[in-house]
Structure 1
Amino acid sequence: MIRRTLNFSFLSILLILSLFSNSGCSSDEKPPEHTLSQEQMASILTDIHVAESRVTRLQLRSLDSSLLIFNKLKTDIWKKYKVDTLDYRNSYSYYMMHPKQMAQIYEKVNKKIEIREKANNIKL
């Protein structure tokens, strides 16, 4: 299930990234202070996609219940990586404006998910 969600999410992000590719952003530009590294972003996004998959597999009838569970899982992710949600959001916005870097991050996300699937002998 996460594979479908991830593929859709990945394709959506690639489409958005391609739209921004001609935005004139310089690759030499230094990220703002408190911007998470690409590796941190890849790890966090991997966990977020896995959390989405977990909630989807619960097949809850109530959207409110699904959101409550997903928000709890996200809170756990922020704690796990000791990340402030504002730093995450600002970092995400920065990388969205730098499509090549965001594409590199999602390549790492895909690899991390593949590794988890192989290690656990499951399809996420």
Structure 2
Amino acid sequence: MPEGLLSKEQMVKVLIEVHLNEAKLNQLRVPRDSTAKVYEIMERELLKHQGIEDSVYRKSFQYYLDRPMLMEEVYTVVVDSLSLRERLLNTK
């Protein structure tokens, strides 16, 4: 892994939160352009909360996109984690 990029574990953590934010936005009944603006704010806050610079996230995301096998590994964990959360919520 090149220096200055997010590890697989960090990328998984960020992407889980990104997808949870997207799910929250999908529940809103607002125009698409408004959703995009809100998403930008949510993403900025997410990265700030996790102590990740926007540029590092973008470079890391591109790094994984350019390496489909690595991205698949990351998304396998993301999907499994989100599925587990959903099952746990449905059992309550």
Shorter chain as denominator, the TM-score bin is 0.7 to 0.9
Q: Taking every aligned residue pair, what percent have the same amino acid on both sides?
A: 29
Equivalent-residue separation in structure 1 for 2:81 and 2:41 (angstroms): 22
The answer to which of 74-83 and 105-114 deviates more is: 74-83
- Computed over aligned residues only, the root mean square deviation of the Cα atoms, in angstroms, reads 1.5
Does 2:21 align with 1:45? no
Equivalent-residue separation in structure 1 for 2:78 and 2:64 (angstroms): 14
Q: CA deviation at 1:84?
A: 0.5
Query: Counterpart of 2:25?
Result: 55
Of residues 114, 117, 121 in structure 1, which corresponds to 2:83? 114
Equivalent-residue separation in structure 1 for 2:40 and 2:64 (angstroms): 23
- Structure 2 residue runs of 5 or longer lacking an equivalent are none
- Structure 1 residue runs of 5 or longer lacking an equivalent are 1-30
Q: CA deviation at 1:67?
A: 1.5
Bigger Cα Rg:
1
Relative to structure 1, the CA distance from residue 119 to residue 80 in structure 2 (aligned partners, 3 Å threshold; closer, same or farther) is farther
- What is the TM-score normalised by the length of structure 2? 0.88
Q: Which amino acid aligns with 1:99?
A: P
> Structure 1 stretches (4+) deviating beyond 3 angstroms?
none
Of Structure 1 and Structure 2, the greater helix share is in: 2
